[in-house]
Amino acid sequence: MAVVSVQGEDLVVEMEGLDKLWALKSRLTIPLANVRGATVDPGILGEPKGIRAPGTHVPKVITAGTFHHEGEKVFWAVRDAQKAVVVELADETYTRLVVEVDDPRAVVAMVEKATNR
């Protein structure tokens, strides 16, 4: 699971527990100016992931790490699709972050509030 927070002018995504190992990252920091928005998307796990490089993918168990699909680089850290949040980015290494959080609606509201200042 990930903990998403707004710290100053940045969106910070911190991986917890073994998700640090599976995703091969412990923290991502994205300037809020590069965050286009966030949505709750429990159906996202059904979409093609692309080529895993590096990361972990065990169908119906976990998708974590960096995936390349149709020219996009997407960061995944999801086990429970019902808790998936998609953060759309611009001018960043990743085009999207797909992370599992404890309260998806609260995270989306926080991101939307921070980006609509």
> Domain map of the chain by residue range?
2-115
pLDDT for the residue numbered 7: 95
pLDDT for the residue numbered 8: 94
Q: Which of 30, 12, 38, 40 is nearest to 116 (CA)?
A: 38
pLDDT for the residue numbered 37: 94
In the chain the beta strands, taken as DSSP E runs, fall at 2-7, 10-15, 27-31, 35-40, 51-58, 62-69, 72-78, 84-89, 96-100
Q: How far apart are CA 93 and CA 60, in angstroms?
A: 27
The ranges of the chain with pLDDT < 70 are 21-22, 117
Contact 76, 67 (CB under 8 A): yes
Which tokens hold the place of 109?
A: 């509201």
CATH 2.40.128 fits 2-115, yes or no: no
Rg over CA atoms, the chain: 13
Name the pTM for this structure. Answer: 0.90
The pLDDT > 70 percentage for the chain reads 97
